[in-house]
A and B are shown apart, each in its own frame.
Chain A
Amino acid sequence: MKRRLFSVFICALVPLFLISCGTSESSEKDDNTLYVYNWGEYIDPEVLSMFTEETGIDIVYDEYETNEIMYPKIEAGAVNYDLVCPSDYMISKMIENDLLQEIDMEKIENRANIGEDYWKNSEEFDPGNKYSVPYVWGTVGILYNKTMVKEKVDSWGILWDEKYKDEILMQDSVRDAFMVAEKYLGYSVNSTDEDELQAAKELLQQQKHLVQAYVVDQVRDKMIGNEAALGVIYSGEAIYTQRENPDLEYVIPKEGTNVWIDSWVIPKNAKHKENAEKFIDFLCRPDISYMNFDYITYSTPNIPARELIEDEDIRNSPIAFPVLSDYSLEAYTCLGEKADRHLNALWREVKSY
């Protein structure tokens, strides 16, 4: 009996041993690479190949859909990315949990191209601008179809209007969904007050029977395809969707909304820090920044790049480049792991309502 137990034990160990050998080999082979983890459709692919051509550094490029999907992968540490592009509140969470390393700003020679305002805004989540370099920014608002919605859209309240049953697309990410309800109720988007959260949750539950679907990036295609009348969407999609379907219009509701910045950061366990810094510097070049803007149509914080935009309407567009002081805008801050999980649980309560 004992012998049998022992052999089972040995059996169990061998595969573990095998896999650990197998992978340690493969991960140390290629050194001149860069592991980038970015939002879906968030860079001009041309930019990646240009970078490889200019520097000889190969890029391994991965995409994620929400901050919440990205975070655990970085936290688990099983994945060694060199460069990630999280949003503001996620960056402060990563700094707090010691997942990031400081960027050597001296090496980012093009950093002066990023507007003063954006560096200042970044201080909210990255005091001293040590860990992050702004990449794109924007607001969250309502995209609506002028042929289906005849009235004036200026409030989040329209998303609770019975008239638009099955015509509404909501964001399927916790923070954005709660932001809509919190702003409509006049609360802070960073509220952790239990009563306020419960009120927001109940409001979202009331809305649920009106919602056609909870989606992330699909809002774009569905709105273009006239599948819905109203959708909650990031400002960056507004220009692209209007280009594809002229009936669409983007508004920032009067109750205010979230203003966000997505910035490049280097995780603590990154293996190619210098390559990462080279890439950030490359992205801060006006021509590259302009290429990205043209491709993804999200607002760029790069001042000289904005000057390169030929279409005057877009260069001065209140959608792509709103005057920040005209609206009541609020950035997300990190709520802490406990509050995050609580919010996730509340969100599941909405979804299962």
Chain B
Amino acid sequence: MNNRNNRFLAAPYLIWSAGFIIIPLVMVLYYAFTDFNGSFTVSNVTAIISYVNIKALMLSIAFSLAATFMCLIIAYPLCLILTTVIKNSSSFLSLIFILPMWMNSLLRTYAWQNILERKGVINGILAFLNLPLFYIINKPPAILLGMIYDFLPFMVLPVYNSVSRIDKDLLNAARDLGADPFETFLRVIWPLSLPGVISGITMVFVPSLTTFVISDILGGGKILLIGNVIEQLFTQDSDWNAGAGLSAILMVFIVISMFITAKYDREDIK
């Protein structure tokens, strides 16, 4: 049979991915290691150690670690509750998390300005109740909140997936063997949900590390993240080499997270 020839059905996609995934990434590396005249240099990449860039990178890492941690803290109990409390929780879950995506994410982030502003929704309510007002707009907590809001679904969905697959019999067995709920969680639920947690972490960490929109909209232009620096290098300085140099640094983080994901994927299959 001519079955083997069927594999050429994948050819269009291969062509596509070579042209639009591989080559563009090679171009980033090419621009990163050349200067304006096209001769080799490492200065675009080593520019990361300048005060502004390293501070932006460190801030981004700090923000995305915090956002990832907070997403996990919020998502994990949510998933446990969903699997135990709600009937038919999977369709409920996809409904509530997919639905917001149909309202533009920039618009949703922007709406937080309205909510958090000094004359905004929350302060309006607080003022009405004669409570002290709180100002976090244009400050780091607002950016963190924006990141948690935007990326929470990427934590909830994988964690939910692995938690909901845990066999109920296992939990009953643990209880029968005398484990208290805390022990059951620590020894049974947590280890079994780890693949979901890991993939959730990589899915939240990368976009919050590289965002420039959230800091733009909720940070009042006062906090410069590495994404902002890159965006400005491209759109304002039109210094593609410098922009590509910093993008190449980001690619390192992305490669690391790909390795982690790949590792856990393989263990999942086992």
Contacts and interface: CB of A to CB of B under 8 A. Distances in A.
Contacts of A68: 236
B214 interface: no
A11 interface: yes
A351 B221 CA distance: 7
A344 B18 contact: no
Nearest to A171: B221
Interface string A3-25: 00000101111111000000000
A212 B135 CA distance: 11
Interface in A319-350: 340-341, 344-345, 348-349
Contacts of A214: 220-222
A12 B26 CA distance: 12
Interface in B183-238: 220-224, 229, 232, 234-238
Contact of B14 (A11, A66, A69, A351): A11
Contacts of A352: 51-52, 55-56, 224
B141 to A, nearest CB: 14
Contacts of A8: 18
B118 A72 contact: no
A227 interface: yes
A129 to B, nearest CB: 28
A348 B222 CA distance: 10
Chain A binding surface, main DSSP class: helix
A215 interface: yes
A275 B18 CA distance: 42
Given A227-B118, A349-B52, A344 B232 contact: yes
B16 to A, nearest CB: 6
A345 B233 CA distance: 9
B135 A166 contact: yes
A16 B19 contact: yes
Given A348-B229, A352-B55, A213 B238 contact: no
Given A341-B237, A348-B229, A352-B224, A213 B16 contact: no
Interface residues of B, number: 30
Nearest to A174: B236
A340 B232 CA distance: 13
A293 to B, nearest CB: 30
B23 A69 contact: no
A219 B52 CA distance: 26
Contacts of B235: 69, 72
A211 interface: yes
A14 B138 contact: no
A344 B220 contact: no
A11 B18 CA distance: 6
Contacts of B52: 345, 348-349, 352
Contacts of B221: 172, 213-215, 351
Contacts of B51: 349, 352
Contact of A15 (B20, B55, B117, B135): B20
A11 B222 contact: no
A345 B232 CA distance: 10
Q: Which 5 A-B pairs have the closest CB atoms?
A: A213-B220, A15-B19, A214-B221, A72-B238, A11-B18
14 contacts: A11-B18, A12-B19, A12-B22, A12-B23, A13-B19, A16-B19, A68-B236, A72-B234, A72-B237, A212-B138, A214-B220, A214-B221, A341-B237, A352-B52
Given A72-B236, A213-B222, A226-B119, 10 more contacts: A8-B18, A14-B15, A15-B19, A69-B235, A71-B238, A211-B220, A213-B138, A225-B119, A344-B232, A352-B56
